[in-house]
Structures are given as C-alpha cells and as structure tokens.
Amino acid sequence: MSGIEERKLSHIDLCIDADVESRGTTLLEQVRLFHEALPELSCSEIDASIEVMGRRLQAPILISSMTGGVARGQELNRAFATVAQKFGLGIGVGSQRAMLAQPELAATYQVRDVAPDALLLANIGAVQVRDASSAQIAELVEAIRADALCVHLNAAQELVQDEGDRDFRGCLDAIARLVSELAVPLVVKETGCGLGPTTLARLHQVGVRWVDVAGAGGTTWTGVEALRGSRRQRALGAELREWGVPTAAAVVFARRAGLRVIASGGVRSALDAVRALALGAEAVSLALPFLRAHAERGEQGVFETAEQLSEGIRALMLLTGRRRVADLRHAPRVIGPELQAWIEGRGSHAD
C-alpha cells in the first residue's frame, strides 16, 4: 500500500471516530433570522432548486469532496453519488492526486453510472495543478465525466504533514492558466481554513468566478493531522488546529469580491445552511455529517441525512417568508458582534 493510500484510509477512520471538529466557531450562529408568522405561502410554492454550473439541483446542497484512490473510497463515493442522484444534489470527489500517478485508480472516483444527472466536481490540489500540464488535469476531469473542477488550497495541512508540500510558489499562476485553458468551470476550494479578502481579490483578478470557502469552525484538517504522524506533526497540528477565517466571514468576503460562493466548513444543519445562504452563498457543502451517517447506517444513513437537510431548508424558507433560495439574501436578520467585527475588519488592515 502506498503512502497516499495509507493516509487516505487514516483520514477516513479519524474523521469517523476521532475529535476532528474545531473548538472554535463558524460564526454562522451570529446570523439571526426573523421569524415570519404570516408567511402567506404554501409549502407547495417553496422552490429550493437552483442551477449551478449547468446542472439543476433540487436543493442547494453538495455532498462535499472526501475520498477516492482506495477501494473504501470507491464504496463511499458511490453511496454518496446514489443519494445525490435521488435528491438532486451535487457531489464532489476527493483529491485525484493518486490518479495522476496511477490512472488505473479512476474507478474509485467514477460515479456517473449511478449519478447521471448530479452535479459532479472533480478535485485536485493547487500544487499538483502547478506541476502538471493543463492536458493532464483535463484528463482527470474527463475520466470521471465531471461538470467542474475543484482546485483545493491546503497549505496549512501540508505544512503539518511530515510528508507534505513546502513550496507553494506559482499556484496562482497555475490557477490562472487553468481558468483560460480548461473547458469546464473552475472552483477554488479551501480545506478548512477559509478564504480572506486578499486571497479572494487575487483569485477574482485571474478570472476565478466560483469559490468554496471551506471556512474555519468545522472539520479541522490541521487537527486531523495532529492525531497522526510524528511528534513534530502532532505538535504543529495542535498549534494550528483552530487557524483560519470563520465560515460566515469568508462567505461575506467572497460575495464582496464579486465571486459566486459555495459555503462549507462546519455546516451541520439546515439552519446553518439557511444562514449561509442568507449571507450570499448560492449553495452549501457538507462532508462530515454524510461520512458519519454512512459509518453508522450505510447508504440509508446518507439518504436520511439528505432528506432531513432538504426538508429543513424548505421549512426555514417558508418560516422566513422566502419562496426561492435567492430570496434568502433579502431575509431580515440580526448580525452578532463577533461576525460584525470580522466583516468590518475592525482592528485590522483588511483590504
């Protein structure tokens, strides 16, 4: 078994069984929406569907990038994709870095046969984009018949890993190259540390139009790495466990930068989702709740989780008097002081 395969299996096990969630906050709880006691709506009028990158979703939910490259990852991807097809959701596969070295691993990421209509996102790291040709990256997308490509940014996690990358030069130029040369939309995705104003402005400047903010407050990948590896890895992972821009602030920053936003990082409920949508996200993305549901109850658990989220979002739309997802941006709300401080940049030189 290769080092990448061992790491992938270790990550799955730790996320299922260990304490991998941030001890900090997404700040989504700082968004308080007003209850509309006279919504003047029928449940049948609530339309939670959205169009994302050419696909129609029946609810603004993506099952986030998690795994692939190992047999267990194949099982998980196919279970998630089956549910995504059933509920009209989106789905992302985990990093396809292993596929670059071993194209025969493509089967562990391929789900189109069980999810022919789902929005499907391929996934590769920015460092791998820098070191590969655009044609090689396009082959990863085409091999799984994806609708779009996530390029993930995970500098903090790589720094913690003993075997991780240390040179992040040239990644922005590589992303700019893909924007102009790739035939499908590009989504730049953080992996749990969020995206701040400067990063977002640079991404917008090179032509990126979609981001997945993956903010701090959810699964902490520096924390995951602190549970494995050497003494050095454990110490630095613990030091950086809560590092990052909270999810709610990152959503606001991304909208201000003129980008279309997928909100992830600690989205754990329909209420979290609706709060993120009210801040300007077009969809939300979740990983850990679906992974743990599968560990507990298999595909049925994933099904139930998707059902609860979808129903909860529709209920909250009605209770805020909003007929469509986009209408949530205009829902009356109160913003708490900590989130207000982040988005106003008080005490900083935010640019």
On whether residue 349 sits in a domain, the answer given is no
In b/e form, how buried is each residue of 178-196, taking b as 16+ CB within 10 angstroms?
Answer: bbeebebbbbbbbbbbbbb
On whether residue 285 sits in a domain, the answer given is yes
Instruction: Please give the Cα distance from 211 to 208 (Å, whole number).
Output: 8
Chain centroid to CA 114:
22
pLDDT digit of tens for each residue in the chain (351 aa)? 567 778 889 999 999 999 999 999 999 999 999 999 999 999 999 999 999 999 999 999 999 999 999 999 999 999 999 999 999 999 999 999 999 999 999 999 999 999 999 999 999 999 999 999 999 999 999 999 999 999 999 999 999 999 999 999 999 999 999 999 999 999 999 999 999 999 999 999 999 999 999 999 999 999 999 999 899 999 999 999 999 999 999 999 999 999 999 999 999 999 999 999 999 999 999 999 999 999 999 999 999 999 999 999 999 999 999 999 999 999 999 999 999 999 998 544 444
Helix axes 171-181, 134-143, angle to 10 degrees: 60
Overall domain count for the chain: 1
Indicate left, alpha or beta for 19 from its phi (over 0: left) and psi (-120 to 50: alpha): beta
Instruction: Please give the Cα distance from 118 to 146 (Å, whole number).
Output: 10
Cα–Cα nearest to 155, from 164, 145, 163: 164
Cβ-contact 149, 183 below 8 angstroms? no
User: How much is the pLDDT for 345?
Assistant: 84
Instruction: Please give the Cα distance from 254 to 288 (Å, whole number).
Output: 23
On whether residue 256 sits in a domain, the answer given is yes
User: How much is the pLDDT for 351?
Assistant: 42
On whether residue 269 sits in a domain, the answer given is yes
C-alpha separations of 253 from 194, 215, 248, 250 in Å: 10, 11, 9, 5
Cβ-contact 93, 111 below 8 angstroms? yes
Cβ-contact 227, 14 below 8 angstroms? yes
User: How much is the pLDDT for 2?
Assistant: 67
Cβ-contact 316, 271 below 8 angstroms? yes
Q: What is the DSSP string of 157-225?
A: HHHHSTTS----TTHHHHHHHHHHH-SS-EEEEESSS---HHHHHHHHHTT--EEE---BTSB-HHHHH
pTM listed for this prediction: 0.96
Instruction: Please give the Cα distance from 89 to 81 (Å, whole number).
Output: 9
Residue 30 tokens read as 């700082």
On whether residue 247 sits in a domain, the answer given is yes
Quick one: CA dihedral 68, 71, 74, 76, positive or negative? negative
SS (H, E, C) 68-88: CCCHHHHHHHHHHHHHHHHHC
User: How much is the pLDDT for 229?
Assistant: 85
On whether residue 350 sits in a domain, the answer given is no
Instruction: Please give the Cα distance from 14 to 197 (Å, whole number).
Output: 32
On whether residue 351 sits in a domain, the answer given is no
Report the alpha-carbon angle 53-267-201, nearest 5: 55
Residue 122 is inside which H or E element, if any? strand 119-125
On whether residue 74 sits in a domain, the answer given is yes
Range of the domain at 321: 3-344
User: How much is the pLDDT for 325?
Assistant: 98
DSSP 8-state code for residue 34 = P
Whichever domain contains 260, its CATH number is 3.20.20.70
- Residue 238, judged by CB atoms within 10 A of its CB (0-12, 13-18, 19+), counts as middle
C-alpha separations of 185 from 211, 231, 313 in Å: 11, 40, 26
Instruction: Indicate the pairing of strand 283-286 with strand 50-52.
Output: unpaired
